[in-house]
Amino acid sequence: MELRSQVALVTGAGSGIGKAAAVKLAAAGAKVGVLGRTRSEIERTAEEIRGAGGEALVLEADVSDEAEMREAFDRLASEFGRLDIVVANAGINGVWAPIDDLKPEEFDQTIAVNLRGTYLTFHAAVPHLKKQGGSVVVVSSINGNRSFNTPGATAYVATKAAQVAIVQQLALELGKHGIRVNAVCPGAIDTNIDDNTTLRAEKETAVPVQFPKGDIPITGGRAGESEDVAEVILFLASERSRHVTGAPIFVDGGQGLLR
């Protein structure tokens, strides 16, 4: 129970990596705010945490909406008295299409959720974190940082590269307040994020490269699990990583090294 007495907030906590992180932090003793847009999903995450003996607060909010995000963080701090850990996980793949086919509104939607959402998470969280310090973990990706072969994913990779830049910038800015800022960069993970991907004209943007069989070396090609990423998030949230900040940590089984 190394996080006993600490309070965490996880965005995109209704499924996948966000849900796994919320459950993992709660199991380590943290009181957890589970934030997301789909109430039924975050309710299920909260029920799982409570069923295991933990404490959870359901926070329905759109990460791209300033008022909703500010209200969610204020409500969490009012309910639990503090904020120590933030996991900025909410994100979408959005539309992947050739650049001359990708519509401005499609580009803007990916930017709004992935990048504006990350900014607003920091914007709302930092006033609370400054009171005693803490840890922020941003869920980025190997895409945009190690890998650039996802067909048509211009908006997506732009947001993922920008997230790592934000992490490194804010690690310096917030260090004097005792706030550590790091990123996890997953590779292929068995989640449902592909359900919110729209792929158009893939053959126009696909790069004709053949990868070796089993291109995730550590697993022989099998995708990782949300739990694999959640374990690293727990490490970054805890005092075990007290001297780690501004670091992108790749959780991809070596996949990005082949691409």
Task: Please tell me the distance from the alpha carbon of residue 160 to that of residue 182, in angstroms, as a whole number.
Answer: 13
Query: Which element (helix H / strand E) includes 105?
Result: helix 104-110
Tokens 């965005």 — which residue? 11
Specify whether the CB–CB gap between 10 and 61 falls below 8 A. no
252: which DSSP letter?
A: S
Sequence-ordered list of residues with C-beta below 8 angstroms from that of 85, at least 6 positions apart, any chain: 3, 6, 7, 8, 9, 25, 30, 134, 135, 136, 137, 237
Which residue of the set 156, 174, 182, 187 is catalytic? 156
259: which DSSP letter?
A: -
What are 172's two structure tokens? 């310096």
Is residue 156 annotated as a catalytic residue, yes or no?
yes
By annotation, the residues acting in catalysis are 156
